[in-house]
Chains A and B, each alone.
Chain A
Amino acid sequence: MIRISGITKKFNSGSIDEVEALKEIDLLIDRHEFVTLIGTNGSGKSTLLNMVAGNILPDQGSIEIDGRVVTNQKEYRRAAYVSRVFQNPYLGTAPGMTIAENLLMAYYRGKSRYPRISLTKSLQELFKDKLSILEMGLEERLNQIVGTLSGGQRQAITLLMAVLQSPSVLLLDEHTAALDPKTANQVIRLTQKFVSEGKLTTLMITHSMKQALEMGDRTIMMHHGRIIEDIPATEKKRLTVEDLLAKFEDIRKREKLTPELVKSLRGLYL
């Protein structure tokens, strides 16, 4: 469960570059709920996600995860129950280390590390099993340097690392945006598999209208630092991409969106 209440964030506060990225956001995501997040460029999606992850701290408001107030907790401390996959496939893994060593880092996520050698045969077997789920043949290349793998393979490993120690919350920030469509599909399938099998509370940002509708229990739409639409599961099932676009039109009518914006949304999502 994630409870976000009254979160406000300004960047470059007081200067001419001041940006109000988030404005009084309230949001409750239930346990095991899978939420997709869409919105215009610069609407504050990544900022919101980073705030949950802990590498941006809010100006106002509070964040609760599974009943714990984590508003000002450091990122590495939150990592014990929050894990994430970045848009950039190169950020999620250490390129100079082997696949096994990268997995070891995730294996001890949020735990203390001691001067002992844990990368034993049995642990390597475990890693092999997990890697075989990816269906990329990586289980045979445990001691290969990650830097030599493709972006899709690295993103798949990052995803595996994120769910290796079943986190309370999984955060995905356009994690397929930098991949070619085929690999993107593969990663999306894996995502669905991991989320449903682990019953993970998930917040996923996407730029694909189709993904937004097909995946998850609920879709949230952001604009200018505000949540402007919250589509529950029941309504979502009935919606088509056209309906969604009609919704944008609707918003425009309620003068929440300018015609240019609708145009830009069409361009983005169709």
Chain B
Amino acid sequence: MDLWIGALNLGFLYAFMAVGTFITYKIYSFPDITIDGTFTLGAAVASILIVDGWDPFLVLPVAFAVGSMAGFVTGFIHTRFKIEGLLAGILVMTALYSVNLHVMGKSNVPLLNSTTFVTVIDAFNPGINPELWCAFFLTLTMLLFWMAISGFLKTDIGITMQATGNNPVMVSAQGVSVNAVKIFGIALANGFVGVSGALVAQYQGFADIGMGIGSIIFSLAAVIIGEAIIRRRSVFLKILGVILGSVIFRMAVAFALRLGMNPNDLKIITAIFVLVTIITTNAFGKNESGPVTKFLRRHRRWVVSGAVGVLLAIAAYLVYQSVSQGAVSAKRIRIGMILANQSSLMTNTRNGFYEEMHKLGYRNGENCDIIELNAEGDIPTNKTMVDHLLSMDVDILVPISTASTQAVISKVKDKPVVFATVADPFVIGAGTNDTSHMPNVTGVYGSAPSRELLEIFTTMYPGPRTIGTIYNPAYPNTKVNLNHFLDALKYFPNIKLEEVAVSGTNEVNQAAQALSSKDICAFVLINDLTVFNSLESVVKVSRQRKIPIFTNDAERLADGVLLVYGYEYYVSGLQAAHLVDRILKGENPSKIPFEKFKLTTYGINYDVAKQLGITFPESIKKAAEAKVINGKLTKPDYVLPGEIRLAKPARVALFQINSNSMIGLTVEGFMEKLKKDGVTDLGMLTLKHFDAHGDYITGQTIAKSIQTDDFDYIVTFSTVAMQMVANSNKTIPHVFCAVTDPVRAGVAKSLTDHQANLTGLATPQPVEATIALMRKLMPKAKRIGMVWNTGEINSEICTEKARVACRKYGFELVEKTITNLNDLEDAVASLRYPGIDIFYISGDVMISQTIPTLAKKMTSWNVPFFTNTSDDINSGTFLSLGADYFEVGQKAAALFEQVLLGASPKAIPIESYVPMALTVNLLLAKKLKINIPDSVINKAKIIIPRR
């Protein structure tokens, strides 16, 4: 029932616009395209004022005024400069697009928590269906408007306007300024269009930059339909026809939905509908004498009454059906799903949702019905679809996309809603944070992982770089993604951004060309519908100019981009399915926090790399999960790291012996990933952090206490911490990381054959690579000095590797061993004579705490200092080549999540994981007179001095 009333209400609100078009098109024979922009202008101004606290009725005259101004401009340039009406309209409409964006400040203004005319009216609701109550008021308003506008057309001015449209030569001869009357009429018409926009925005609960697109076609359809059903000369009846035309048009949309028609086909049906009406109208009007027209003319009364009768019968049947449907409640679960359009974002989410629902035991058509509707990019249709779903009495609504979600949450307050694939639900007013939100709403969201993508970019292109990006600021999600991207950029002072805004797919190629001439080193594309719909035009430029494309859209890996890092929207659907399942099983949506997207895909395209003459660094090759090689895309299976719903609270011990920069980074990466995945937000997990602060005895004590203190999981950082725990603990699941060689450390025979209760990451120091680099940079060097702690197994391993590598590259290795830090100073001093060319520390946790002191000493000695922890560069080393431990920590967290979900550590092989990062200090290089080739500098992730 709500479906029909909703359509009626929308029809009424749009009738203001249709009357505007009646004035321009029927009175002046001037199809005024300005209204596409004016409609949005009215909505924009009204929304901004309402958010600002204005009265929802007071904004209507303002919307009228601004709409009139837009119309005035069209009329003025049309008459004053003799520019054709259609062109004048297009000019002003195009200009209004920018104006509207400026007015709104963003592409979408939600009114969800603001006072709109709907809420004001509802305050007086005696308890009937709010939609019906609204319809009641709108009917009254329409009656008044109808009388007012028809009456106006009967006045001297109204008659002058009509005469002007009819015969401008005559009115001019009667002393009327044709131009002035035209401008007045166009301004008046646009005033009504502005009011229409202001009302529709309030009714649907938001203003959107795209809401005016296609207004002219709809309005023309309404006018033509109206003319067809009421063919009388009286202006009263003409205006009535226009209002009815608007209502009928919206009803037709609802009807098509009711029939289960694809709204995509609605456009062609509209076209045919309008065409047929015009043809029959002409048959009645012209004195043609074909047998059919003759028949129609002779029996016109019967034909018209017959058509009206059939329409009424259909309407009655539908109303009966929706009423009786409400009564019969022999039902299985009904899930109503709304998609905003057909983009891959939406459809992937939907596919994921279907699949996971199936897995969870929901069989569409058997024990549940999933009713899927697609608005095909038409914003008001979202609203009609919501009404349609409510009329079908669905149990739960699943809007996919921001626009659909907005339509749903502004209307539905008493049924659960699970949204998916929304960039930022807080912007549209669904809540203030993950846990505090509208009581009937929960869902899955997230804006693209820009920072991670930039991180990868700097791995490939270290040093100062310029990147280019293209976007269409008109899409609501784009604005969110862009802000997110700009925030992320703040972490990369080395990267300079060149941006180009476009307003349509046809401008994308030009934008890419423009960027390519600005000496950019890559396109880094944020998620934007316009750009992704015309990605080919960027790819073309990418190929011509050999500029790689990086993007957050994981779907586009095979389409000519070099590298993707982004969310799998498929998984958004999976997550949404789980939320739906929880709610259907009785959980209260208000208690279910919003979830972030849980799965990202990291993909690289070898074919594109080859075309552009790019080679991926090893670390990226290793890290990437999805690959395109020779046109073939390989992707890992979707494993939902997410569905972390712990049956009972779990206690986790995090254990580290030292707190040097390497361990610090690992822990940071670990925690960040858990947080990002929402694991720490679940409230079920207690994380306890233990740090022995370099004291082994304390470490031993901690290791013991962890085992007796009833922890459910243990995570260790560093080899020693792992060993201390693994020694005595054979039962509690244990994940380790920052370990050089677990086999040598005694917890495993091989990477697959390891102690049953543990698994983790092996991150060997790249000792050989470091020594090879030493040889490359210092061809004449002879002696390498190295100090290491014999108590540390990983230190021993590194030293052993160093011995082998030194032989290979023709160095003499001078080793000094210590067992505690007190001996360090003497050990280092003893290297002064006979003298060393290089000082090297690798994999030694204890000594690594003193890197800054050692670095100072080596600088004073004029000896280059090499280490295997990339972050050491900040402590004064000359060159550090090592794993990026932040990434190691993240990877460990992913592993830990698997265990948390119930995977047995035994079944998870230990993974060798070295995301390589090179850092170098050029100031020292100058001082030490070491020449560093560009090939090395280009690989560097951090360069001192920072650029």
Contacts and interface: CB of A to CB of B under 8 A. Distances in A.
Interface of A: 53, 55, 74-77, 79-80, 83-84, 86, 91-97, 101-102, 104-106, 108-111, 113-119, 145, 161
Given A106-B174, A114-B155, 15 more contacts: A53-B173, A76-B172, A79-B175, A86-B169, A91-B170, A94-B170, A95-B167, A96-B166, A97-B163, A105-B171, A105-B176, A109-B174, A113-B176, A117-B154, A118-B155
B172 A113 contact: no
Given A76-B175, A80-B175, A113 B157 contact: yes
A101 B156 contact: no
A255 B176 CA distance: 46
Contact of A75 (B162, B166, B173): B173
Contacts of B152: 115
B156 A77 contact: no
Contacts of A161: 174
B79 interface: no
Contacts of A109: 174-175
B585 to A, nearest CB: 64
20 contacts: A75-B172, A77-B175, A79-B172, A79-B176, A93-B170, A94-B170, A101-B159, A102-B170, A104-B159, A105-B170, A106-B174, A110-B174, A113-B160, A114-B157, A115-B156, A115-B157, A116-B155, A117-B151, A117-B156, A145-B233
A105 B172 contact: no
Contacts, number: 88
Contact of B174 (A74, A91, A108, A114): A108
A102 B157 CA distance: 13
B158 A94 contact: no
Interface residues of B, number: 24
A91 B177 contact: no
Contacts of A114: 155-157
Interface string B848-878: 0000000000000000000000000000000
Contact of A117 (B155, B172, B177): B155
B155 A76 contact: no
A230 B167 CA distance: 36
Contacts of A105: 159-160, 163, 170-171, 174, 176
A92 B174 CA distance: 10
A108 B174 CA distance: 8
B155 A91 contact: no
Contacts of B158: 115
Contacts of B233: 145
B171 A94 contact: yes
B93 interface: no
Contacts of B167: 91, 93-95
A91 B169 contact: yes
Nearest to B27: A96
A145 B159 CA distance: 14
Nearest to B181: A113
Interface of B: 151-152, 154-160, 162-163, 166-167, 169-178, 233
A26 B152 CA distance: 48
A119 B160 CA distance: 12
A82 to B, nearest CB: 9
B708 to A, nearest CB: 92
Which one of A94, A115, A117 has the highest number of Cβ atoms from chain B below 10 Å of its Cβ?
A94
Contacts of A113: 156-157, 160, 176
Contact of B175 (A86, A111, A116, A145): A111
A86 B178 CA distance: 18
B156 to A, nearest CB: 4
Contact of B156 (A53, A76, A118): A118
Contacts of B163: 94, 97, 101-102, 105
Given A114-B156, A117-B155, A145-B233, A97 B166 contact: yes
A8 to B, nearest CB: 25
A104 B177 CA distance: 16
A141 to B, nearest CB: 14
Given A94-B163, A105-B160, A79 B174 contact: yes
A232 B233 CA distance: 52
Nearest to A110: B175
B253 to A, nearest CB: 32
A92 B160 contact: no
A95 B170 CA distance: 10
Contacts of A106: 174
B173 A84 contact: yes
4 closest Cβ pairs, A-B complex: A79-B175, A110-B175, A94-B166, A113-B156
A228 to B, nearest CB: 30
A50 B156 CA distance: 28
Contacts of B174: 79, 105-106, 108-110, 161
Contact of B178 (A76, A83, A111, A118): A76
Contacts of A93: 167, 170
Contacts of B173: 53, 75, 79, 83-84, 92
Contacts of A94: 162-163, 166-167, 170-171
A83 to B, nearest CB: 7
